[in-house]
Amino acid sequence: MRLELHKVKVRDVQWGEKTCVKDGVLYVNKQAAINCVKEEERFAKVDLELARPGESTRIIPIKDAIEPRVKLTGKGGYYPGFSAPMGRCGDGKTFVLDGAAVLTCGPIVAFQEGFVDMSGPGAVYTPFSATQNIIMVVEPIKDLDPHQYELILREGGLKLAVWLAEQCKDAPADVVEVFEKGTVPEESAKYPQLPKVIYVCMNITQGLLHDTYVYAADIRPSLPTLLHPNEVLDGAMVSGNCVSACDKNTTWHHVHNPIVAALYARHGKELNFLGVIPTQESTVMDGKLRASQMNLSIARELGAEGVIVSEEGYGNPDTDLCLNARNFENAGIKSVVVSDEAAGTDGASQSLADATPEMTAFISTGNVNEMLEVPAMDKVIGWPETIAHLSGGAAESLREDGSMFVEMQAIIASTAEIGFNRVGCEWI
C-alpha cells in the first residue's frame, strides 16, 4: 500500500474573492464557505472567523479540529463514509493544506469542550496556536437533541475542511510525503530478524457523545480491529468525542498520529511495524475485559513481540490501560503505555485512577491539573462564559478583565496522549 501526501504549506489565511492557495496564503471566499455549511438546515446560525498564530485571540469552546484534505485519486472526497464514498483509504494521492485547520466552535455538551489561545502562555500547550485556523461558529435550531447537534457539528466541520481542500487541489505541492508498506506477511518475510511491534490506540467509546469513528462506524459496540498504518494517516479515524479537552484526540490528531509516524520511520530498520489496533474504552467491566483480551488476541496472532498502548481520557479508562499492560506483559509481549496524569494541582496525588504492577514502562504527557493563568485577549471567538462549565474551569475562572485562571485540562490537546504536545516528564 502506497500513500502520497501532496502538501501545500499554508503560512497565512485571508478572506478573498476566490477560495484558493497562492504563495503560502490560503484565501477563503467567506460567503461560499458559509453556504457550504448552511446546507445543513438544523443550524440556526452559521458564521466563520479566522485566527492566526501570534494574534491576541481566544477561541472557546472548541469541539473538533480537522485538517483540510481531499483525495486526488479514486472517487475524491475524504473521510470515507462521511465526506467520501465508503472504501478503503490509505492508498493513492491525497492533497493536504498543511498548516491549516478547521475548528468547530459551539456550546454543545458544556464541560468537555476546551479553548485555544493564539498567543500568550496558553498558546504553548496546543498545536492549534500554530495553525492557520478557519473557525466554524454555529448555533443549532431550538430544542435540537444534543446527539443530533453533535452529529451536524462533526459532519459540518468535516464537510467544510474537505470543501476548502477541493477548491485548492490544483495548487502544486511544496512537498510530497510517501508512506509505503506491504501486508503483514510480506513485511515479516522481508524483515524476519526485526522485532515485531504493534500499536494499540485506545479511544473514548462511551456513548453520550463520547465516541470515535472508524470508516464512519461508531466503534463503541464493535470489537477491536486491525488497520494498516496508512489507513490511520489517511482519514480512516474521526473524532466524535467530548472527552476533557486536554487529552481529546481530535480528527486532526488522528491523521498526524506521532506514534504511527515514529514507528513507520523505524520500520524495516529497527523494527517491523505490524499495524494499528483502534480499540474501545468501555464504561462496563465486561467491555473493558473483552476489548483488552481481543487486543491481545490480535497481537498474538500476528506474532507481536512489543506493543505501544496510548490512552484517551482518564478516570475509568485508566482501568483499560492497566488491563492492556497486564495482559500483554503476562503473555510475554513487552508493553509501553502513553498517558497523561491527573495528579492534583500540586502534582502529589496518585496519577492514575487504577494501577497494576505489570505496567513498568510509562510515558507521561503531563499533569492535567496544573494551574495556568492566561491573560485577556483582544478578541474572543465564541462564548467566553462557558469556561465556568469546562473541565478544568470554574465559575470564578473568568475574571472581569477577561483573564482566566484554569487547569491545563481546559486547553485543547494540552496533554494529548498520543504524544502530540509540548509537555511531559523525564527521569533526572
Q: CB–CB of 105/137 below 8 Å?
A: yes
For 214, the grid coordinates are 472508524
CA 407 to CA 403: how far, in whole Å? 13
Q: CB–CB of 352/319 below 8 Å?
A: no
CA 309 to CA 259: how far, in whole Å? 10
> Length of the chain in residues, anyone?
428
Q: Is 168 a catalytic residue?
A: no
The catalytic residue among 242, 246, 322, 425 is 242
Please identify every residue annotated as catalytic. Answer: 242
